[in-house]
Amino acid sequence: MPSKTFAKPPLAELKQKLTPLQFEVTQNDATEPPFRNDFWDNHAAGIYVDVATGEPLFSSVDKFESGTGWPSFTRPIEDGHVVSKTDTTYGVVRTEVRSSGGDSHLGHVFEDGPAPTGLRYCINSASLRFVPADHLVAEGYSAYAGPFVSGKTAPVVVSTDNACAKPPPGEKAGCEATLDTALFTGGPTTAAALRGVPGVLEVDTEADQLRVVFDPKRVAKADLATLVQSHR
């Protein structure tokens, strides 16, 4: 495979390049809310690269439905691009995974995945950029186009028998979000006000609702609700 390196850009450049949510996840080790992210249910053919550097990380060939609400893979796209380290945050011993070139926080890996590896790489969508199979050559990833040339890829495996989707009785799930999400009713003015609140990382419009991703350590949901009320 190519020996191209994917160095981490300066933080100032990353702050301009990445959204606040992407920056918080990749640079400050946050975990996005489950089921409210871009790729947890993406079944399109292609590869997933580091949103910060473009380093190839995972392939849709190895993606499966884990029932956790986060993109899950049985293995990295190839050796050397995803590195592991011990994570003892919150008093629980887990194995964190990061990109090799850019040192972006990706998520965690668990030993409760399906065959053939028995591993479950539980990854934040905010750490990833998806490159569709038909864009691989144009974007410089032709070395990874082989599995998609025939138009046939591995079927999506459904596996919900894991400690995150179904933790043992009395135990916490192995994957927990550090960020939260809330839905409010409001228009452009309300959305603009919410985006200016410290701790609010993302505000998306969904029909007549605003989906807000925020850091509960920095701003309370009740305070956001108060702000929304004041703009009605």
| Residues catalogued as catalytic | 122
Query: Tokens 């186009």 identify what position?
Result: 145
Instruction: For residue 32, give every residue at least 6 positions away whose Cβ sits within 8 Å of its Cβ, in sequence order, or none.
Output: 21, 25, 70, 124, 125, 126, 177, 179, 213
Q: In this structure, what are the phi and psi dihedrals at residue 73, rounded to the nearest 5 degrees?
A: -135, 150
β-pair partners for 206 = 209
| Joined tokens for residue 198 | 């410290």
Residues forming a β-bridge with 26: none
Consecutive H or E run containing 195: helix 188-195
Q: Give the amino acid at 85.
A: K
What residues have CB less than 8 Å from 207, skipping those under 6 apart?
none
- Is the separation of the CB atoms in 204 and 183 below 8 Å? no
CA torsion sign for 197, 122, 158, 169 is negative
Which among 116, 102, 11, 91 has a CA at the least distance from the CA of 49?
Answer: 102
DSSP at 200: E
